[in-house]
Structure formats: C-alpha cells, structure tokens
Structure 1
C-alpha cells in the first residue's frame, strides 16, 4: 500500500478512501477514538508517512495508518523528531509495524 503523498492533508484524504476513517489520539498509554480507548498491543501500523517542515523543525509530523486486530481502521497524526512528546514515543514503540 505504500505510496508517498505530497502533503499530510492528501495522505489523510487518500487513507480515508482506503477505509482508515477513525481518528485516533494518544491518551493514557492507549489510542483513543470516539467509541473508547484501545490498548496499543491491539493495533498494528499498516503504513507511516513522514513529513518535514521546510524551514522549521517543529513542523515535522508523521501520519500513521493503523488497524486494530478486530477491524477498526484509522489515522493517527503525531509530531516526530524534536517535536515528539515523550508519551507519544512510548506508545508508538509498543505498536507493531506490519512488515
């Protein structure tokens, strides 16, 4: 499925068309979504897209296409590099990248 998209918004739009419709957020060592929280161990990362800011390192971001083992598919957008929060790094390390 890996295709590099020009911008974060294009990546999100294309992923939504592929069925990644849930918006995930990092919360309390879980991935939170409108219907609740799911442990990081219950997900895999299907794809990751990284974006670098043109002039500001704080503009760096990553878009994750995530799928749960029981069928919930969605998107997580986080900062990376110097803009990554310590909490985010810990949770993302627990997620499995599909290989």
Structure 2
C-alpha cells in the first residue's frame, strides 16, 4: 500500500504507466498523445485512494489505466465535494465496465 499520492504515481510510472489521462466531455484523453478514448477503449488496472487529513480538497484517487491499444497512464481525480459530477459519471461507467 502506498503512503501518499506521489508515491503511488511514481510506482505506477515504474510499472509503465507513463502517460497522463484527463477527463474530458464524454471522453478520456491521453494528454501527451492528444488521443481521445471512450470508456469502451479503456480498462482500469489499479486504483488507489488517498485522504490526506481533514481538508476535503486533499481527497483523491489515482487510476492506473490501459487503453485497448496498450497506452498505459494514470488519471488523478479529486473526490468529495470538489468532484465534477459529469466527469465522475465517466469514471463510474468505466468502473462498472470492469465488474
């Protein structure tokens, strides 16, 4: 188990998750490659959640994601009161597809 978000991200980079995914409008984008993916194109490989204290802004989850073309990256998302509900729906759909 990782002690904080930075440690998790560094460890995931060591495992080959070198790209950065971002939530967009009805898609997830690989920042470095400027490629847009649908939920059907991606698979969550690992998930790690962190709550760094009493500040709700310090709650986050890092997702290790692999595309159907083999692009591995991480997506970091704050949760709690700061989450964008529309973007959270994308993650919810992706998580449901994993079950």
- TM (normalized to structure 2)? 0.88
Give unmatched runs, 5+ long, in structure 2.
none
- Please tell me whether residue 85 in structure 1 is matched to residue 99 in structure 2: no
Superposition pairs for residues 1-99 of structure 1, below 5 Å? 4-33=1-30, 34-35=32-33, 36-96=35-95, 98=98
In 1, Cα distance between equivalents of 2:81 and 2:49:
14
The number of equivalent residue pairs is 96
Q: By how many angstroms is 1:53 displaced?
A: 2.7
In 2, Cα distance between equivalents of 1:51 and 1:83:
14
Give unmatched runs, 5+ long, in structure 1.
none
| C-alpha RMSD of matched pairs (Å) | 1.5
In 2, Cα distance between equivalents of 1:88 and 1:40:
12
- TM (normalized to structure 1)? 0.88
